[in-house]
A and B are shown apart, each in its own frame.
Chain A
Amino acid sequence: MLFNSLGFIVFLLIVLAFYYTPLLNWNNKKRMLLLASYIFYGLWNPPLVILLWLSTMVDWIAGNKLSREEDPRRRKMWLMFSMVVNLGFLFFFKYRDFMVDNFTAVVNSYGYGYQSQPMDILLPMGISFYTFQTMSYTIDMYKRDGEPAKTFLDFALYVTFFPQLVAGPIVRAKDLVSQFYEEKRATTNQFIWGLFLLSIGLFQKVVLADTLLADNSDAVFSAKSSLHFLDAWAGTLAFSGQIFFDFAGYSTCAIGLALMLGFFMTENFKYPYASLGFSDFWTRWHITLSSWLRDYVYIPMGGNRHGILKTYAFLMITMLVGGLWHGAAWTFIVWGGLHGAYLILERLQRRYLPFKITAKNGIFLALTTYGCVNFTWVFFRAKDFHSAWNMIKSMLFLNPGGEKVLGTFDIIKIFILIGIMLLCHWFMRNTSLKEVSLKLSPWVLGVVWAAMIFLIAIAQGSGEQFIYFQF
């Protein structure tokens, strides 16, 4: 089920009605939330709920064993059990065809006429998100970092909680499970603020991403010939905005929905396009994934404890894993690799060419960071290397006489919208929406809110999926 759909409005009203009815006790409310979460997921493809159940069962059993078991060998075995099952599902559904295709290409490069049969398996929505979330629980239990969930119901709800089930934020058990122990009830202000966040999230998705940017980005990235440099840049900038508004919009909706039920969730985006460098970018973009990769890939590999060269290697491996997490294609791996290279170059600059960031060079640094990030988006969005390389050449003025695919108004619209987005990120980089809202008069907030829902209503949209559902 999609947040930007009529069905979800009805679903949410029913859930809220049951949640706030005095007839149900806390345990029954949690059971209702769990059932609602399965319905939320199952309305997309009912049989795939079984995967959620299996993942929940495996990590509940493994987590419990790990919390009690003292024998290191057995502990390692339970951890492996959880990893094999979770990563096995992920591999089978997401990476199987990719691996087989690459195997075939390698084998055939030696002259064998091997032909693989792609299975074209349906990718379960949000499998990468909930797999990483449940795995974090088992790994934490292995590291004895945090308490095991008190009941199966609490754990199952942690895995399946509908606001963040299919596209994050990837929440750690210690941050969410404990919130299920005591009865939660949003205060009036929390509820209204949650509703406001839901409105902002939907505005980002329906109006900014889908209505104002998606078509232009699609037109550019589906072009069959080399593009004019203005079109290449406009399309890439449009995609940078689209993916931010799409994904940050989902996270904002999720945080808002959880708050309407009285639960708090970690922020997932902090105005990333005003980042002053790439390590800053990764503390602001998809924060819950980057912290997951830091805590469960980079640090366990050795982090920065084994000298400079190994640190850089670990950094690169972590970013490549991050790229692969996004999709089973070499373009995603290159996207991760580029970010890894940026992070390494930034560390080298800090080591050999350090400088103090001031207000003036800060703007330059932010724009440079944003520009470099845009080059990575080309690989993220392009359907193959040929298209990506063509796009990069157009952006670097290397395709003279390239095709024009965007109209004058579209180009002006993209540059104005992206300009406004960058200004917002810049002025918001050291504050938060809540802080700014506190300073606004209720009238201004009300008018802005009304304008957003009015634009959502007249944009209507076609109820398209969020981009990150495919990951």
Chain B
Amino acid sequence: MKLKKSLIIALVLFITGIGAWEIYWRSKGYFPNLDDDKYLWAKTREKVEKATENDVVLVGSSRVLFDIQLDVWEKKTGVRPIQLANPGASPLPVFHDLVENTDFKGTVIVGVTPPLFFSTTFPQAPPWSRAFAKVQFYEDRTYAQRFNYSLSVPLQNTFAFVSADEEEWYDDINLKALLNTIQLDNRIPVMPPFYRFQEIDIDRNVRMKDRMVTDTAFAGTVKTVWKAFMSGEMPPPDKEGTMAFFLKDAEKFKARGGKIILLRCPSSGFFRDLENKGFPRKDFWDLLVERAKVPAYHFEDYEQLQNLNIPEWSHLSAESADTFTEEFLNILQKDGIIKNLKIK
């Protein structure tokens, strides 16, 4: 048995193969990037433990994730916000975690995307479970998982072929994702392909890909997915339940000196129509603001937060997100709600 020879052959072939694999995917336009997963979320959540009264935490759904740009915020205020928003999820479980499991008494910006914020408090419902799973993971993660993640970040930042995002995008290039692209004459309905349309960095700063602005067909694929998501029967919103849950946490947070800011980010087209019909402003947003008694900002009330580029009706393009963040901060600073810590 010439095992040494086999080992050398295996190593040479593996290194050649994986090198060719990496070059192939780079030639197809892929480059190394981080995955938005529970590990990255938990690493970001860690920062809250050491956060001071001057710090800002962002909770909400994907709109807060895309629309608030951390670099712009830091440049304008001297503080880099802690981004804890989650795509397709209610902000309530994360806000509850901040209130119940930390001593944080800085500022929390709560993104209100009505179909998600007012959706449910039922633990198994996706808007709740998607966010709660991350909170739970933060509590339960092992030292081995922390160690693994610290080793995986340099690999994710070096190799394009390392891609295993939790969202399981259609254009991910791990083996499972590649197999999922094989569609034969199908016996079950299939979701339209959902391509990754954003990049994320180690602080969870998310920016929409430029391709979403330059390639309308690509943006169209995301629109098709949104329509498919919303075409099924949706359970009715639990307005009173979600509001009561949030208000209870909000009272507790305010009582210990924390500041809350409600933010309704822009939407357009299909989503705007759906939100206006299903979640009329006066019945949902206005009522929430009235009961919460905290500063609240709706994009419709500020001209400078309107007419921005929303390529797929729900999230701002990278450039518009910069503008939105800057203008939103101007408003907050004008109202004396957020200070610029760079000015002593």
Contact = CB atoms under 8 A, between A and B. Distances in A.
Interface of A: 1-2, 5-7, 10, 42-46, 188-189, 192-193, 195-196, 207, 211-212, 215, 404-409, 411-413, 437-438, 442-443, 445-447, 449-451, 453-455, 457-463
Contact of B9 (A45, A407, A447, A460): A447
Contact of A406 (B7, B155, B162, B188): B188
Contacts of B184: 407-409, 412
For chain B, give the interface size range. 35 or more
B24 to A, nearest CB: 11
A460 B174 contact: yes
Question: Chain A binding site: helix, strand, loop or mixed by DSSP?
Answer: helix
B132 interface: no
Contact of B164 (A46, A207, A445, A460): A460
B183 A409 contact: yes
Given A7-B151, A450-B14, A462-B164, A442 B144 contact: no
A463 B7 CA distance: 25
Contacts of A405: 188
A7 B148 contact: yes
Contacts of B145: 463
16 contacts: A7-B147, A7-B151, A43-B142, A45-B142, A189-B4, A407-B184, A409-B186, A411-B187, A442-B3, A446-B9, A450-B17, A454-B17, A457-B14, A457-B18, A460-B164, A462-B164
A407 B186 contact: yes
Contacts of B9: 442-443, 445-447, 449-450
Interface string B117-139: 00000000000000000000000
Contact of B148 (A6, A207, A215, A442): A6
Given A196-B3, A407-B184, A450-B17, A6 B10 contact: no
A460 B142 CA distance: 20
Contacts of A215: 176
Contact of B175 (A188, A450, A455): A455
Given A407-B183, A450-B14, A458-B173, 7 more contacts: A211-B175, A406-B188, A408-B185, A408-B186, A412-B184, A443-B6, A458-B175
A459 B173 CA distance: 9
A5 B148 contact: yes
Residue from B11, B174, B176 having most chain A Cβ neighbours under 10 A: B176
Contacts of A450: 9-14, 17
B7 A192 contact: yes
B17 to A, nearest CB: 5
Interface in B135-174: 142-145, 147-148, 151-152, 155, 161-164, 173-174
Contacts of A454: 13-14, 17-18, 21
B28 to A, nearest CB: 14
Nearest to B5: A442
Contact of A407 (B1, B164, B187): B187
B13 A463 contact: no
A13 B5 CA distance: 22
What are the 3 A-B residue pairs with the smallest beta carbon separation, nearest first? A446-B9, A450-B13, A449-B10
B10 A44 contact: no
Nearest to A457: B18
B234 interface: no
Contacts of B143: 42-44, 46
A442 B2 contact: yes
Contacts of A446: 5-10, 13
B80 to A, nearest CB: 28
Nearest to B154: A6
Given A192-B7, A449-B6, A454-B18, A407 B188 contact: yes
A192 B14 contact: no
B179 interface: yes
B230 interface: no
Nearest to B3: A192
B182 A44 contact: no
A443 B7 CA distance: 9
B343 interface: no
Nearest to B20: A454
B255 interface: no
Contact of B4 (A192, A212, A460, A461): A192
B144 A5 contact: yes
A404 B187 CA distance: 7
A454 B178 CA distance: 15
Contacts of B161: 457-458
Contacts of A212: 179
B145 to A, nearest CB: 8
Contact of B176 (A193, A211, A451): A211
A458 B184 CA distance: 23
A3 B188 CA distance: 36
B10 A2 contact: no
A42 B164 CA distance: 27
A443 B2 CA distance: 9
B175 A207 contact: yes
A1 B144 contact: yes
B179 A460 contact: no
Contact of A6 (B1, B17, B155, B187): B155
